[in-house]
Amino acid sequence: MSKQMIISISREYGSGGHEIAKMLAERLGVAFYDRNMLDDIANEMEVDVENLHKYDEKRRLPIVRRTVRGYSNSPEEIVAEFQFDYLRKKAAAGESFVVVGRCSEYILREYPGMIPIFILGDEDEKSKRVQMVRGVSDSEAKSIMARHDRTRKYYHNYHCPYKWGDSRTYELTINSSKLGLEATTDVIMNFIKVRMEHTEN
């Protein structure tokens, strides 16, 4: 496909959205961006990437951060801006890619090839996945899921006027627990194919 496509994958923690995004990038033969974009950013700035990872996809903390004459000292906000600029540059250069989170569906909303997708899952299925990946109990997994989803929601809602997970924000909202990761990826691939046929670039 020669048309530019930008697949934005938003996801609930444990839904397998990250893996699905990776599979999509592989099948489509396009770049894949998640927290790895910070490696590029740090490399370009000649700084320690670990210092940036700490603030990845976190919302600006209230009260303990301040803004003076337009200068914010919130590392969360500044790291988010680095990523937004990075994505804007990639998109402006005409690159096609799959990006996980980072408010990409809002930041790059003006591109006709932007396809925003939200992946969710059943509570128990998500918990099983988290237990398997992180080697924790069911209750620990659920508490981790709740914490991560809360962080993502706050981060998203701080930077975007739309609510995280609100189906009206996305073109496709899909529950990965019903079909499994592979079949969910197949469905999304089909959707992307049809969607791109209807996209003028």
Closer residue to another protein in complex, CB, 45/132: 45
Of 73, 143, 167, 190, the one binding another protein by CB under 8 A: 73
**Contact indicator for 109, 161 with CB cutoff of 8 Å:** no
Per the CB < 8 A criterion, the answer to whether 9 and 169 are in contact is: no
**Residue of the chain from 26, 36, 39, 65 that contacts another protein (CB under 8 A):** 65
- Phi/psi zone of residue 192: left (φ > 0), alpha (ψ -120 to 50 degrees), beta? alpha
Write down the least CB distance from residue 42 to another protein, Å.
Answer: 7
- Residue 31: beta bridge partners? 97
- Piece in contact with another protein (CB under 8 A), picked from 2-10, 44-52, 104-112, 154-162: 44-52
Alpha-carbon gap, residue 179 to 190, rounded angstroms = 14
Q: Does 63 bind another protein (CB under 8 A)?
A: yes
- Residue recorded with tokens 């914010």: 72
Does position 45 interact with another protein (CB under 8 A)? The reply is: yes
99-105-110 Cα angle (round to 5): 115
Strand, helix or coil at 201? Answer: coil
**Which residue number, 69 or 168, has a Cβ lying nearer to another protein?**
69
Q: Kindly state the greatest CA–CA separation across the chain.
A: 51
Stretch near another protein under the rule CB under 8 A, chosen from 8-16, 42-50, 83-91, 128-136? 42-50
Least distance (Å) from another protein to the CB of residue 148? Answer: 20
User: How far, in Å, CA of 40 to CA of 82, rounded?
Assistant: 11
Closer of 80 and 174 to another protein (Cβ): 80
One residue of 62, 139, 197, 200 binding another protein per CB under 8 A: 62
Using CB under 8 A as the binding rule, whether residue 75 contacts another protein is answered as yes
- Chain residues binding another protein by CB under 8 A are 41-42, 45-47, 51-52, 54-55, 62-69, 71-75, 78-79, 82
